[in-house]
Every structure is written in structure tokens, then in C-alpha cells.
Amino acid sequence: MALIELAGIERRFQLGDTTVKALAGIDLTIDAGEYVAVMGPSGSGKSTLLNLLGLLDRPDIGHYRLEGRDVTTLSADEQAKVRSTRIGFVFQSFHLVPRLTAAENIALPMMLAGIAPAERARRVTAALKDFGLDQRADHKPDQLSGGQRQRVAIARATIMQPPLILADEPTGNLDRHTGEDVVNLLEALNARGVTLIVVTHDPGMGERARRRLVMEDGRLQSDSAGAPG
């Protein structure tokens, strides 16, 4: 079943008095459970694509159907609701809240969703164990190593059990070894059925994905699944 269907997506930005097409005519279908790497040079539009898939940005033209539902026409609050329950984000710079502990950072999406504290505590404890962070629950982000921070971020992205995880250069700020750990974690999630879309510069990481999209100048240059836009 198609989790994501993009049809004729176009996203333009105004830079001074010239209009730049960050995305132009993207047609793309991603099935549930796929592991997709989005690659391409800087400025090729891959981050814009990821923002769009994460409902952080809206296309100027075209339609985006998530789980069969057209999400481009939803109101901002409805989109927030979709982000809360259906999408998990992993960022290159982790984006942890510095004043909150690891446990509180992981619990943040559940707190925003209004989940009861008891249920939150239960899920956080389980997540800390799963991600090998039980000894770090009360540490602030600045007391954690880079790898630990990204594990906290991944735990946070998965705590609402979303079917889709979007990762923007998840290993970009990590050394080779730690990056390897993080990729393994993400792939383990994918193995459990979560759809994983990773934006990366790293050809090695791209190789590991079952499907590779290469972008250039806002267009899909190639698609290893043999269905280029």
C-alpha cells in the first residue's frame, strides 16, 4: 500500500527578484515499510522535499497524499496533529531542548499530545531501555555524547509510534563509528515496519538503503526502484 503519493509537486522560493524552483514536477510514490535514501548535491531540493513530506512546508502546486489522505489542504492545526501522530523527525543537529533531561526530551511529543503522565513515564522507561540510555535518563543534553544525543532524538521520534520517520543527515554531526550505530538503530526500526526516509550526503549510507532517489535542480534525477519522476 502506498504510504506517500506525490503528484506534480512544485515549490518555489522568492530570492530577491528571481524565483527559484526548489522542487519542480515531483511525482513519487513510497510504500509503507520502504527504506529510502534521498541523495544529491547541496541545493538540489532534497531538504525541501523532506520538509514537505514532514508537513513543515506546503507545495505551491501539486498534491501530497499521506496514507491515502490529501494533506496539502489541511489547516495548520490539522497538519500539526498529523505530525504529532504519524511522523517522527530526526535532525542533523539533534534539536534537543537543552534545559530538559534526556527522559523529558523523549517525553516531549507525548506531553504536547496531552498523553497522561503515567503512560508517558511507562513509555519513556521502555524507550530508554531500548536505546541503551537507562543510565542517562536524568542527564541534560550537554552531559551526553553526540551518539547519545542522537539516540535520544531517535527515541523521541519513535515515542509516538509513527509509521513514518524522516531523518535529515542523521549522521552528519557524528564520527564514523557512532554514525554507524545510529544507522543501525534506524535500520532496526525499518525492519520492524516503520517507513524510513533518510536525506544524506554520505554515499556509503545511501548504498545501504533499499531504494535511492538522486535529486538535482529540484528534480528527481534517478530512482533505483525504476520509477523516476
Partner 1 sequence: MRPADILRFARDAAAGYPLRTTLSVLAMAIGVAAVVLLTALGDGARRYVVGQFSSLGTNLVIVLPGRTGTGGFNPATAITSTPRDLTIADAQALLRAPAVRRVGPLAVGTSEISAGGRLREVMVAGANRDFFAIRNFELAQGEALPDDDWQRAAPVAVIGAKVQEELFGREPALGRLVRVGDRRLRVIGILRPTGQGLGMNTDELVIVPVALAQAMFNSNTLFRILVEARSREAIPAASTQVLELLKQRHRGEEDVTVITQDAVLATFDKLLGALTLAVAGIAAISLAVAGILVMNVMLVAVTQRTGEIGLLKALGAPARTIRLAFLTEAAMLSASGALVGYGLGEAGAFALRQLFPVFPAYPPDWAVIAGLLTALSTGLLFGFLPARRAARLDPVQALMKH
Which residues of this chain interact with partner 1, rule CB under 8 A? Answer: 51, 54, 56-57, 76-77, 80-85, 89, 91, 93, 95, 97-100, 108-109, 111-114, 156, 160
Minimal distance, residue 109 CB to partner 1, in Å: 5
CB-wise, 99 or 177, nearer to partner 1? 99
Measured in degrees and rounded to the nearest 5, phi and psi for residue 149 equal -60, -45
User: Grid coordinates representing 94?
Assistant: 539533534
Number of helices (H) and strands (E) in the chain: give both, helices first. Answer: 7, 10
CB-wise, 174 or 212, nearer to partner 1? 174
Of the candidates 63, 75, 72, 60, the residue with the CA atom closest to the CA atom of residue 29: 63
Minimal distance, residue 182 CB to partner 1, in Å: 18
CB-wise, 14 or 207, nearer to partner 1? 14
Minimal distance, residue 223 CB to partner 1, in Å: 25
Minimal distance, residue 190 CB to partner 1, in Å: 20
Quote the CA–CA distance of 189 and 193 in Å, as a whole number: 7
Minimal distance, residue 113 CB to partner 1, in Å: 7
DSSP state string for 74-128: S-HHHHHHHHHHHEEEE-TT----TTS-HHHHHHHHHHHTT--HHHHHHHHHHHH
CB-wise, 157 or 212, nearer to partner 1? 157
Quote the CA–CA distance of 134 and 123 in Å, as a whole number: 13
Minimal distance, residue 165 CB to partner 1, in Å: 13
CB-wise, 64 or 89, nearer to partner 1? 89
Amino acid at residue number 214:
V
Exposure string over 62-100, b if 16+ CB within 10 A, otherwise e: bebbbeeeebbebeeeebeebbeebbbbbbbebebeeeb
Minimal distance, residue 110 CB to partner 1, in Å: 10
CB-wise, 64 or 212, nearer to partner 1? 64
CB of 152 closer than 8 Å to CB of 159: no
CB-wise, 92 or 190, nearer to partner 1? 92
